A and B are shown apart, each in its own frame.
Chain A
């Protein structure tokens, strides 16, 4: 069974540009999460989808971040326009229905220069 996959694995963009990260959860997992780790800090929650609906987006830092999960399958996280402080590793995770044990993807390392 394929795990959570994310791409790209790395992205380097200039301040002010737009970047879109993609996550494919484990097949059949209704719950999809985005997390972020900024250098030197702990991994922090961004948001949670249940199927295509946003269940909890309390961790989204500001309106430059837009997450979507059309059709309840894969998800995208767009950052527009990117700022220097957006640099970090963005993790996606998924879990099955009513289960909190989440499985993580390998992450996308975003560098904004």
Chain B
């Protein structure tokens, strides 16, 4: 079983719609959860992090965490073509700085 799982996509959504990206993790000791956006050939860019169960909102982005279900998601409202990228989910264990990544979900926002 992979430690962090994401659907590879591509996930296609029309411009203006809500994009929903999902991630599951296997380690119940996971404590911190991160979403990175990576444009082709560029560095992963941190866009959200969440530590507690529930929702965390930042602009058009909402991260949702459910530790009981070992599930973290990222919602992007009012999706724009510029949001087209690969979204990487990453987690760390308590007391560790080591990020464990999923393979990423490729998002395509269609104008």
Contact = CB atoms under 8 A, between A and B. Distances in A.
Q: Taking chain A's interface residues, is the majority helix, strand, or loop, or is none over half, making it mixed? A: strand
A37 B11 CA distance: 22
Contacts, number: 53
A43 B101 contact: yes
B85 to A, nearest CB: 14
A46 B49 CA distance: 22
A95 B103 CA distance: 22
A102 B99 contact: yes
Contact of B34 (A31, A33, A101): A101
Nearest to A47: B98
Interface stretch (A60-68, A76-84, A103-111): A103-111
Contact of A56 (B46, B98, B104): B98
A37 to B, nearest CB: 9
A43 to B, nearest CB: 4
B98 A101 contact: no
Interface string A51-62: 000011011000
14 contacts: A35-B99, A42-B4, A42-B101, A42-B104, A43-B90, A43-B99, A44-B101, A45-B100, A48-B98, A55-B97, A100-B97, A102-B97, A106-B42, A107-B43
Interface of A: 4, 31, 33, 35, 41-45, 48, 55-56, 58-59, 91, 93, 95, 100-107
